[in-house]
Amino acid sequence: MSEEVIKCSICLAPVHEHSHNGEVYWSGGHNAQPINAGRCCDSCNNNIVLVQRFCNVGRVPMDSQLPTGKELTKYAQRLRVRHDESGDLR
Ligand SMILES: [Zn+2]
């Protein structure tokens, strides 16, 4: 096992570690498909990857589609800040 920090491929911040009683049991991030082929943090997974998956199956109206490229990174970073401030990590 390596101590390498995995960075989110969408917002570029380190992915969240999930721990229980102080022991990290999961730090690998989520699969960022279909946004890209890398890994992503909790925030991007919930707010971007899952939304994109719904878009791909036509369950989200076109006007709520996600930004792309650099705009997507900025958008992801704003969501990430909000996600971390909400403190839903245990
Ligand atoms: Zn992220």
Report the alpha-carbon distance of residue 38 to residue 61 in Å, rounded.
Answer: 26
Mean pLDDT by 10 residues, the chain (90 residues): 81 94 90 95 95 79 76 96 78
Q: Are 6 and 16 in contact (CB under 8 A)?
A: no
Distance 64 CA to ligand 1 centre (A): 19
Distance 54 CA to ligand 1 centre (A): 18
Res 57: pLDDT: 77
Give the start-to-end residue ranges of the domains of the chain: 18-86
Q: Is the pTM above the cut of 0.75?
A: yes
Res 20: pLDDT: 93
Res 29: pLDDT: 95
Dihedral (Cα; 14, 16, 20, 26), 10-degree rounding = -80
Nearest to 80 by CA among 5, 6, 16, 32: 16
Distance 24 CA to ligand 1 centre (A): 19
Distance 46 CA to ligand 1 centre (A): 9
Res 76: pLDDT: 97
Tokens 């969240």 belong to 16
